[in-house]
Structure 1
C-alpha cells in the first residue's frame, strides 16, 4: 500500500525545493562565492533559521539531495545488472549516464551539473555525498561476489569507484577519463614495454 506525504512533509519538501531553486538561481547570477546564506533565505522568503533547519550543512548542500538517491541507483546498478555483466561494467554504464559524463541532460540539469563541476566548494560537497555511499556500495559488491563487506579489497574497490566523479569529472573529456579509470580497475596496471 503506497504511503502519501502528510501535510507537514509536503510543506517541508516545498520549502526545501524553494531553497534549492533560489540557491541555484542566485549561484547562476552571482557565482557561488558571491551569494550569502541570508540572500538565499531572503530569495526563498524564509528565515535563516528555517534555511538551516532544512539544510544544516549550509549553502553547499542547497542544490543537492541528501545522497539517498545516489545510494539507491548505485546499489541498483550492481544488484539489477543483466546476467553476464560484471559489477564494474554495470557501475561504469550507470555512472556514464549521469553527471559530468553525459550530455544527454535537460538544459536545467546541464546548467546545474556545470555549476557543480566549476565550483570547488560544490565539487567537494558532491564528493562527500559520493563517499557517503561507500558502505552501501561495498555491501552490494560483497553480496554479488559472495564476499564479506568488511573485506579490505571490497571496501577499496567501492572507494575507488566513488572517487571517479571527482577524478574524472573535470577532465577535458570526462567520459574518456571515466572509461580509462574503469579499464584500469577491470584489467589492472599494464606492464611497461621492455620491463620484466
Structure 2
C-alpha cells in the first residue's frame, strides 16, 4: 500500500511555477549571460511577478543551482542513513562516485552549457563556494551528532573538509574515479588512526 499522501493542488501549482521560473531563467542565461539578465526579465518570460521569483529563489544565483537543496540532503543522508557496517569514508566514496557519474551525464546533455556558464561567471562560482561551505557545516554537524560529541573536534572538521575537497578535485580530473580512489586511500589512513584513539564502543567506523 502506498503510504505517501498525494500532492495537493497548491503544492502542484507551486512546483509548476517554480519549474516555469527555472526554465525561463535557464533559457535567458544561455541566450545571453547570467550578468546580462535581470530578475524582471525572468519574471516576464515565466509570466509571474518579480516578487514571485524571489519567493521561490532568494537570489538570482539560486536559479542556476535549483537542485542544490536536494544535493545537500543526499550528501547528509549518504552518511546518516548508510547501512550498518559501512564506514563513513565508504559511504562518502560511493556517494561521490555516483554524483560525479550523474554530472558527467549532465555535461554530455543539455546541461553542459549551464556548467560552462558557471565556470565563466565569477558570481556563480562565488555562490557555489558558499553552498559548498554549507555542505561542510551540515556534514560536520551530522558526524558530530553521530559521535555524541558536544562540538566537532579539529580532526573531524579536517576530515570533512578534506573529504569534500576530494569531490572537487575529482571533478576537474580526467580520471575522476582514480582520483577519488587514491584520495580516500590517503584520507582513510588518518581517519582510521583517529578512530583508534577513541572509544570503539561509541564511535562509528
Determine if the TM-score, normalized by the shorter chain, exceeds 0.5: yes
Counterpart CA distance in 2 for 1:81 and 1:137 is 13
Q: Which stretches of structure 1, 4 residues or longer, exceed 6 Å deviation after superposition?
A: none
> What's 2:162 paired with?
160
Shift of 1:125: 1.9
The separation in 2 between residues aligned to 1:111 and 1:149, in whole angstroms, is 44
TM-score, scaled to structure 2: 0.71
Q: How many residues align?
A: 185
8 A contact 1:168–1:174 mirrored in 2: no
1:73-88 → structure 2 map (5 Å cutoff): 73-81=74-82, 85-88=86-89
1:37 corresponds in structure 2 to 39
Contact conserved, 1:23 with 1:62, CA < 8 A, in 2?
Answer: yes
Task: Assess if the C-alpha contact under 8 Å between 1:75 and 1:140 holds in 2.
Answer: yes
Aligned partners of 2:22 and 2:66 also within 8 Å: no
Q: 1:22 aligns with which of 21, 24, 30?
A: 24
Q: Which residue is equivalent to 1:12?
A: 14
Paired position in structure 1 for 2:198 = none
Matches of 1:157 and 1:124, distance apart in 2: 23
Relative to 1, partners in 2 of residues 1:170 and 1:73: Cα closer, same or farther, differing over 3 Å?
closer
1:98-153: CA deviation from partner (whole Å, max 9, x where unpaired): 25884234723444444334433223222322322334312433455x35262222
Q: 1:100, 1:169 within 8 Å by CA — same for their partners in 2?
A: no
Using structure 1 for the length normalisation, give the TM-score: 0.73
Aligned with 1:133: secondary structure?
Answer: helix
> Gaps spanning 5+ residues in structure 1: where?
189-196
Q: Distance in 1 between matches of 2:181 and 2:120?
A: 21
RMSD: 3.1
State the distance in 2 between where 1:126 and 1:80 align.
25
